[in-house]
């Protein structure tokens, strides 16, 4: 099931890629129903907060008419940054599933794990390495294109 939703997140990531944005996609799921999908639009919209996760969480809140996403899972193709990890605490998202780590900017396992801080009032379940290879390939190809 995780692979199924992550593949949809990867399709979203490809939209970012085509728009010149780092390919990251996100999908919010509740009771086996897709609530929202989003892709990274930071460059496309010239907007610092428009990471896939922020948009997907915002759209899910709108759709469900609540900021409480305890019963939701977010699928992301890349380990979240500080801002997006924070959005997961703010929304009390039940579960975070991501495809691959982000050594430079990831704040769930790479730089540190801000989600397991005992001071947080919420601690989502974390699952990693779902469709890892596919996401890594997409990212590598994007950055190779950028250098050329």
- Catalytic sites, residue numbers: 53
Minimal distance, residue 107 CB to its own copies, in Å: 8
Stretch touching its own copies by CB under 8 A, among 30-38, 101-109, 129-137, 140-148: 101-109
Please provide the size of the chain in residues.
148
Does 114 sit near its own copies (CB under 8 A)? yes
> Two tokens at 62?
């709108």
Minimal distance, residue 88 CB to its own copies, in Å: 9
For the chain, give the secondary structure using H, E and C. Answer: CHHHHHHHHHHHHHHHHHCCCCCCEEEEEECCEEEEEEECCCCCCCCCCCCHHHHHHHHHHHHHCCCCCCCEEEEECCCCCHHHHHHHHHCCCCEEEECCCCCCCCCCCCCCCHHHCCCCCCCCEEEECCCHHHHHHHHHHHHHHHHC
Using the rule CB under 8 A, which residue among 87, 97, 130, 139 binds its own copies? Answer: 87
Stretch touching its own copies by CB under 8 A, among 12-20, 27-35, 87-95, 125-133: 87-95
Using the rule CB under 8 A, which residue among 66, 113, 129, 141 binds its own copies? Answer: 66
**Contacting positions for its own copies (CB under 8 A):** 42-43, 45-51, 54, 57-58, 61-62, 65-67, 69, 81-87, 89-92, 104-105, 107, 111-112, 114, 117, 119-121
């Amino acid at each position: 099931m995780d692979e199924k939703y992550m593949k949809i997140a990867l399709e979203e990531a490809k939209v970012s890629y085509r728009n010149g944005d780092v390919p990251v996609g996100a999908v919010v799921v509740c009771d086996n129903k897709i609530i929202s999908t989003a892709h990274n639009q930071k460059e496309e919209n010239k907007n610092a907060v428009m990471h896939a996760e922020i948009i997907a969480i915002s759209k899910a809140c709108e759709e469900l008419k609540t900021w409480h996403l305890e019963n939701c899972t977010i699928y992301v193709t890349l380990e979240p940054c500080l801002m997006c990890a924070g959005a997961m605490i703010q929304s009390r998202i039940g579960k975070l599933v991501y495809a691959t780590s982000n050594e430079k900017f990831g704040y769930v396992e790479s730089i540190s794990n801000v989600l397991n801080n005992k001071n947080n009032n919420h601690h989502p379940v974390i699952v990693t390495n779902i469709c890892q290879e596919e996401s890594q390939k997409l990212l590598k190809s994007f950055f190779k294109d950028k250098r050329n």
